[in-house]
Structure 1
Amino acid sequence: MADDVSLLLVRELKAFDASSHGRPFSSLLVLKRLAAKTASNGNPFCSLELGDRTGSFTCTVFGDSPVFEILRNAGEGAVVRVEGKVEFYQGRFSPRLAKVVALAETELGAPGLLENLVEVAPEDHEGMWTEIQAFIDGIKHDALRMTVRTVFEEVGEAFRWTPAAVSMHHAYRHGLLEHTTHMARACHALLPLYPQVDPDLAMAGILLHDTGKTIEYEGTLATRRSRRGILQGHVVLGYQLARKAGIKAHLDPERLERLEHIILSHQGEPEWGAAVYAATPEAVFVSMIDNLDAKMGMVQRALRQAGEADEFSERLPGLSTTLLTRKIPAAASIPPPAPASEPPSA
């Protein structure tokens, strides 16, 4: 692969339209997801997700492709230089890959390389962490505040770096921090509307609801579920963290049970991963805010990644639809009325 070939970012690749069909390109990408499958005719193929800091795309590589074994051997998390041709499938960018070279470990230290590959939250992570600390300080109940602090001390720096998901929402570095910060902001704004919700318990539940993801997810360039993540899941892991911290902080049994219930029910539906349905005012409140921010996180990312000429995004599984990404035209300015003429003087 020639070194003088201009490497395109995912944002630039996805800006192509049907008129660019067959156009050659080269890119440096992370192999974020690789699923080996078998077609109905018995032939093997791989479903891939490739990405960089500007976004990601999916494509399919069949067993007779010259890059099939290279990609399968490289595995998730590998950094690869690819050559291919622009193609579309059902209206979305789905290129045909012609050549792949997996970078060696020694090549990953090149200046700026990893910064170009890792997608990060758009907001400053230091500022969001400062906000989280302020939200913790705002919990008035001493034992509840101590419970939250103890959990954050246990999960440590991982909370600041972990994605909030593998693919659905806030699935990038600092994503968990961003998701939790947005939820805490929404909680603070909405609490005055619902006096039946205990503010300290709701805020504590929001701050802790996804802390189990610091254990569930692992990986630097590609996020995957850990052994404990597969066997227990973040809902149970978060429940364990909160219970251990609550007992250590001498949180009264009533509040501890309600805090545990928020974590166990925050996914909303059992098919979405909830252990139980939300059955307290605080649990319903937190579950609804979680669902709101997860879906709006999908919207925000789709809008960030949309090209200038795009009218709709690719289909977003979490919304079960595509998203209208074209901006609302600016309202035409209406000139102010001309001042009334002065009456003639007598």
Structure 2
Amino acid sequence: MPRPPRPRLAVLGAGAWGTALAMQAARAGAAPVLWARDPARAAALARERENRRYLPGLRLAETVAVTEDLGAAMAGAAFVLVAVPAQHLRAVLRRLPGPPAPLVLCAKGVERETLRLPLEVAAELWPGVPAAVLSGPNFAHEIARGLPAAAVVASRDAALRGRVGDLIGSPGFRLYGGDDPVGVQVGGAAKNVIAIAAGAVIGAGLGENARAALVTRGLAELSRLAVALGGRPETAAGLSGLGDLLLTATGPASRNTALGMALGQGRSLEEALAATRGVAEGVATAPALVARAAGVGVELPICQAVAELLAGGLTVGEAMARLLARPRRDE
């Protein structure tokens, strides 16, 4: 009896995360089509079967197709995994031939110009199109290698959550459903900002006690904002909150932590960015997150300090002194 055809999925974005998701989708039994905006990169990926820039030494399965043609990538897709940085999400969504298949947004951040979360951007551009967000404590290079991991697919659409879990989940990549997309998105955005602060603490030689305290209080900030925007406090304790924050603020492969460490060592933001491979989403997210929180009357002292540090208005020492001088209260 012939096997049923593999379900087609579109993966938009051929950076580390998009490539890793395409590899995971193939591992789970789907037929992903990986779209690269740059024709030269698409040709190199198709020819070499390896993303040598971001995931060297890891080969794409033969069931992963690669193209620079956006329409071809999306043709017949069960859903579309959009794995581009948050600040480029709007530009990519605008290019989609429509109406598109259901969207699964894999960006973590807040749009700088509009202060919108990823699903809010999608709802503005494609109203009525089902959408979910995929988030969790996942380093792309580990997902690409097939190491054990878990993530959450959050959406108000239960059928979409289940479909995504069925098609890209596997025993080694456990996908949980979630019906609090606001809380999940806030967790994904805030953890990058808090990780910059955690890295700065270590880079400045302030010790692990200081990092642990900062990460814990950062989690409280994350939870307050999520609730103010309509999310649930318990989401902050899950994979997209505490889980992702722990990984990003302590994992040696974290771009945001590495950037914070460079700042803590006295390097300029320009020098730190030049040494960072890929995008440190927390840089653009920090001021946008603080502004979004101010709009709902929520204070984010740690994220505010990071925003000022990145803008050059504060040193790491000054930031820590300000945080430690805040009025003492019950936890």
Q: Same fold (TM over 0.5)?
A: no
Give TM-score, length-normalised by structure 2: 0.30
Q: Kindly name which structure, 1 or 2, has the bigger radius of gyration based on alpha carbons.
A: 1
When you count helix as a share of all residues, which structure comes out higher?
A: 2
When you count strand as a share of all residues, which structure comes out higher?
A: 1
